[in-house]
Chains A and B, each alone.
Chain A
Amino acid sequence: MTQALLSAEKITKVYPDGTVALTDVDFAVRPGEVHGLLGENGAGKTTLTKIISGLLPPTAGRIVWRGKPVQFSSPREALKAGIGMVHQHFALVGPFTGLENIALGAEGGRILSAVRAAAIRRRVEELMAASGLQAPLDVPVEELPVGVQQRLEILKMLFRDVELLILDEPTAVLTPQEVDELFPILRRLAAQGKSVVFITHKLREILAVTDRVTVLRRGRTVAVRDTPDTTVEELAQLMVGEAVVAKVRRAPRPPGPVVLRVQDLRVPGAQGRPAVDGVSFEVRSGEIFAIAGVQGNGQSELVEALVGLRPWTGEAELLGRSLRGKGPAQIAALGLAHIPEDRHALGLILEFNVVENAVLGRIRPFLDPLGGVRWRRATHFAQDLLTKFSVQARGVRAPARSLSGGNQQKLLVGRELSKTPKLLIANQPTRGLDVAATRYIRDLLLRLRDEGLAILLVSADLDEIVELADRVAVMYRGTFTGVLPAEELDWEKLGLLMGGVAVQGARE
């Protein structure tokens, strides 16, 4: 067995808010290998690499680098030792040229003189020739495509002589062609003796480029495999885990009339790439239609389009009325309630008190003819919400910020349901909640379904999907890779679809 270049031993990370991100994780990288780090969102991939690259301290465990235990207190120290990380959001200065960006921070504290610049340029050109990473050096980086910016980021690391290069989801921002160009470069770097850690949740990429793969699930190492000895199916199962046989709590129920009909919906995204690239579906009364998928595959954009926060093309109808050209207020008036993905950013105003939040977006019934707010009436309403949805708060005058996450979510859900909607869009409704609040929200959604509400559920949590959904669509890169009825759900299929692998029997 080859001596590991880097090994992380029994790493545990608990964030200050109590979230346990990693538990006893072991991870080792050999010299000259491309090592895949595979896992769903929230599995702990990014946290682990942040610890390795000195951005976060581990709560417990140790890092061994070239046989010696080390403790990096900053990315700068890790970089000096030879560990460099390229983040999903690049650290480039937009108006600077490629060369200036590479020199930045490495210029040794002196102003970049012409002589030094020429020397740096020679080094960088050598590196480009050796690695195959070609990029223009004299163009402001903000004018370059993302793929080229990424090459500059990697060059920047090579320029600092890193031995271990960590790439956090490098393909997430790339076009398929750019991905095809990146992979041979990674192989070449490995052949030259560098080690590469390649983070992804895409199974095909693991098989295409890595030598070995470590699979993380819910903050634990579940497997380490030599890539040639594994298969897409095995990786999919390792990534999502064994099905904890979900008790089917759903009473079978014949689906009611169509409430939401979406036809060929398209939403433009960043850099001219469509975020949602033509999806069609229906949500019926008394049905929970779930959209599964790894985050960042267009789910958020799809929801924002439907609630009127983003421009889109195609057709969407709520109870036969087109949503085209309507804003959030008009769409809400048609009978839509929305539990947004990020309750702090979109759902609540944290500085507002409970009453003010309870009437956000539904203040009309509390107005006098002159537009004055009848706060007394609103206060009664808020008190009712607190009781009905068992929200624990110091009182109705307490700012929403002072409530716990679960109670904030219950307040938000209560407010949305008090609109007596026809369609509920719930985007990651239990993310970040404790067990009790999660249970509460899921039971509530099931009850509402039984009462005939149409529910569009977006979730990255497969347990949630399996427990709640009547039908499941899997979203990958802006389209549905498949739509499955609940009876045909199985974890392997879900994992494959989420990793972008088409499956027999799944309807496109």
Chain B
Amino acid sequence: MRAILESLLALALGVLVGAAVMAAWGRDPWGAYGALLQGALGNLRALTSTLSRSLPLVLTALTFAVAARAGMFNIGAQGQMLVGAVVALSTGLFTLPAGLHLGVALALAGLAGALWALPVALLKLVRGVNEVISTIMLNWVAHWLTLYLVVQKLSDRVVGQRTFLAPASMRFPPLYGELTWSWTVSVGVALFLFWFLWYHRQGYEVRAVGLNPKAARAAGISVPRAMLVALLLGGISAAWAGAIQVLGRFPYAITSDLANLGNLGFDGIAVALIGRNHPLGILGGAFFFGVLATGAARMGLRGIPLEMIQIVQGVIVVAMAAPEALRLLRRVRRRTTAEVPV
């Protein structure tokens, strides 16, 4: 309850600062915000576009959130998402019956994401390497590996600027407009993780470890296992973000500059913070993020320069993410002063 109030306040603050910026440069802020809402939610087609944009963000945000619940700062969603996308697409190199093909693609992508998260967990638990460092490095490995595969191995023979198209047998069936049935993955994973964290023993242990690793250990909880589980589940979730972006959304391929995968992983961090690292909050946070992203194009039509749109988006996102980010930082500071052995 307090969290929702806090978020609304932060939203109001962000919106006001954004308005001040636009007004200071002589633009009409309220008209611009109106355009934003119109563009994102004005009709069914706009709404499906917004939803479709937010779906992969749900998954990458969950990656961050489940690790944060275990007391870690996992920024590896970006790399895991790329790996998931490329593995899912590569499954199209085989021929399988419709439906089954999609299932196999998701399974392989999830496996790849977990494998990409595994070294992070092993380095942390065996050698004490901070997960921030290892995930940043693995993100770059994934980036260049994906780029290489997309450009050199998977590109379309005719249309050079993208990979081959995912065969129809492994696409998510369309629902309306840009929206496909891929929403079931995002919502399903969010609901699963909600259940896992609050109604399953291992999830309970993950939260215990995140809040007080010393007390968790004293109570006989395996701290390494909780962290491993949180990282692997996150890896799967992020990989599926990449997979549904490729198999559930136009252009059903990966563009040669990776533009349609963009910064899904990093944006997920902001979404997780907006959603208070809570799976259900993240559903709302991702939708909110989708609104900002989709509606921005409309603001451009009102004569707002792109840079200013990005400033306004940034201000609002920062304001919304700040409360949870501060909370995490405080916890980390307490932790480092308390010197917790893993």
**Docked-complex contact A307 and B204, CB < 8 angstroms:** no
Give CA–CA (A348, B219) in the complex, Å.
9
B204–chain A nearest beta-carbon distance, Å = 6
Which residues from A are CB-within-8-Å of B338? 345
CB A75 to nearest CB in B, in angstroms, measures 20
Residues of chain A within 8 A (CB-CB) of B208 are 349, 352, 356, 360
Instruction: Give the interface segment out of B11-19, B72-80, B210-218, B246-254.
Output: B210-218
Smallest CB separation, A225 vs chain B (Å): 40
Let me know if A246 is at the binding interface, CB within 8 A: no
Query: In whole angstroms, how far apart are the Cα atoms of A340 and B215 in the complex?
Result: 10
- Most chain-B CB neighbours within 10 Å: which of A346, A347, A349, A363? A349
Which size class do B's interface residues fall under?
A: 10 to 19
Does A296 reach chain B (CB closer than 8 Å)? Answer: no
Q: Which of A332, A347, A363 is within 8 Å of B201, CB to CB?
A: A363
Q: Per-position contact with B for A16-42: 1 when CB-CB < 8 Å, else 0? A: 000000000000000000000000000
Are the C-beta atoms of B215 and A346 separated by less than 8 Å?
yes
- Please pick, from B200, B202, B212, B216, the residue contacting A350 in the complex, using a CB distance under 8 A: B212
> In the assembled complex, which residues on chain B have CB atoms less than 8 Å from the CB atom of A108?
none
**Residue contact A373 to B220, C-beta cutoff 8 Å:** no
**Residue A269 lies at the interface, judged by CB distance under 8 Å to chain B:** no
B interface footprint on A307-346 (CB within 8 Å = 1, 0 otherwise)? 1010000000000000000011110100000101000011
Contact B204 A373 (CB under 8 A): yes
**Bound Cα distance A260, B212 (Å):** 29
Given contacts A327-B220, A329-B220, A361-B220, contact A371 B201 (CB under 8 A): yes
- What residues of chain B lie closer than 8 Å to A130, measured between beta carbons? none
Contact of A372 among B200, B211, B217 (CB under 8 A): B200
- Write the chain A residue with the least CB distance to B338: A345
Q: A259-312: which have CB < 8 Å to B?
A: 307, 309
CA–CA, A59 and B218, complex, Å: 38
Interfacial chain B residues near A371, Cβ < 8 Å: 200-202
Q: Nearest CB to that of A330 among chain B residues?
A: B220
Report yes or no: A363 in contact with B216, Cβ–Cβ below 8 A. Answer: no
Interface size class on chain A is 20 to 34
Q: What separation, in Å, do the CA atoms of A375 and B195 have in the docked complex?
A: 12
Which of the listed residues B207, B211, B220 has the most CB atoms from chain A within 10 Å of its own CB?
A: B220
Asked whether B199 is an interface residue with its Cβ less than 8 Å from the other chain, the reply is: yes
Complex interface: chain B residues within 8 A of A307 (CB): 218
- Chain B: interface secondary structure? helix
Given contacts A345-B214, A349-B208, A349-B211, contact A360 B202 (CB under 8 A): no
B220 partner residues in chain A, CB cutoff 8 A: 327-330, 332, 361
CB < 8 Å neighbour of B219 from A345, A361, A375: A361
Verify A338–B200 contact, CB threshold 8 A. Answer: no
Closest to B204 in A: A373
- Looking across the interface, which residue of chain A has its beta carbon closest to that of B219? A361
The residue on B at minimum CB distance from A332 is B220
B218 touching A338, Cβ below 8 Å: yes
Residue numbers in B under 8 Å from A348 (CB-CB): 212, 215
A367, CB-defined interface residue at 8 Å: yes
Once A345-B338, A349-B208 are accepted as A-B contacts, the answer to whether A360 and B215 lie under 8 Å apart by CB is yes
Contacts of A372 in B (CB 8 A): 199-201
8 Å CB contact of B199 from A327, A338, A349, A373: A373
Which one of B202, B207, B218, B222 has the greatest number of beta carbons of chain A within 10 Å? B218
Give every chain A residue within 8 A of B211 (Cβ-Cβ). 349-352
Residues of B within 8 A of A363 (CB): 201, 204
**Chain B: minimal CB distance from A347 (Å):** 6
Tell me the complex Cα distance, A148–B14, Å: 54
Chain B residue nearest in CB terms to A351: B211
Contact B212 A340 (CB under 8 A): no
Q: Is the CB of A375 within 8 A of B218?
A: no
Bound-state CA distance A356–B216 (Å) is: 12
Smallest CB separation, B276 vs chain A (Å): 13
List residues of B (188-236) whose CB comes within 8 Å of A's CBs. Answer: 199-202, 204, 207-208, 211-212, 214-222
Segment 366-402 of A: residues with Cβ below 8 Å from B = 367, 370-373, 375
Contact B215 A328 (CB under 8 A): no
CB distance from A275 to the nearest CB of B (A): 15
Tell me the minimal C-beta distance from A377 to chain B in angstroms.
Answer: 13
Q: How long is the Cα–Cα vector from A270 to B199 in the complex, in angstroms?
A: 40
Distance in Å: Cβ of A311 to nearest Cβ of chain B: 11
Q: Given A352-B208, A352-B211, does the pair A340, B218 have CB atoms closer than 8 Å?
A: yes
Minimal Cβ-Cβ distance residue in A for B195 = A372
Residues on the B chain within 8 Å of A349, using CB: 208, 211-212, 215-216
Q: Once the chains bind, are B217 and A373 in contact (CB under 8 Å)?
A: no
For B214, the chain A residues whose CB sits under 8 A away are 345-346
Residue pair A356, B218 in contact (C-beta under 8 Å)? no
Q: Which residues of B sit under 8 angstroms from A332, Cβ to Cβ?
A: 220
Cα A307 to Cα B202 in complex, Å, equals 23
Q: B residues within 8 A CB of A340?
A: 218
Decide: A309 near B217, CB < 8 A? Known: A351-B211, A372-B199.
yes
Inter-chain contact A367/B215, CB cutoff 8 Å = no
User: How far is A332 from B200 in the complex, measured between Cα atoms in Å?
Assistant: 22
Say yes or no: A373 contacts B215, CB within 8 Å: no
A345 near B215: Cβ-Cβ < 8 Å: yes
A375 to B207, CA, bound (A): 16
Q: Say whether B204 contacts A356, CB under 8 Å.
A: yes
- Residues of B contacting A328 in the complex (Cβ-Cβ under 8 angstroms): 217-220
Quote the shortest CB–CB distance from B224 to chain A (angstroms).
11
Closest Cβ of chain A to B280, distance in Å, is: 17
* Cβ–Cβ contact B215 & A347, under 8 A: yes
B: residues with CB less than 8 A from A are 199-202, 204, 207-208, 211-212, 214-222, 338
Could you list 27 examples of A-B contacts with CB < 8 Å? A307-B218, A309-B217, A309-B218, A327-B220, A328-B220, A338-B218, A345-B214, A346-B215, A346-B218, A347-B215, A348-B215, A349-B215, A349-B216, A350-B211, A351-B212, A352-B207, A352-B208, A360-B208, A360-B215, A361-B219, A361-B220, A367-B201, A370-B200, A371-B202, A372-B199, A373-B200, A373-B201
Closest 4 CB pairs of A and B: A329-B220, A361-B219, A328-B220, A349-B212
Other A-B pairs beyond A348-B212, A356-B208, 9, CB < 8 Å: A327-B220, A328-B218, A330-B220, A349-B208, A349-B215, A351-B212, A352-B208, A361-B218, A373-B199
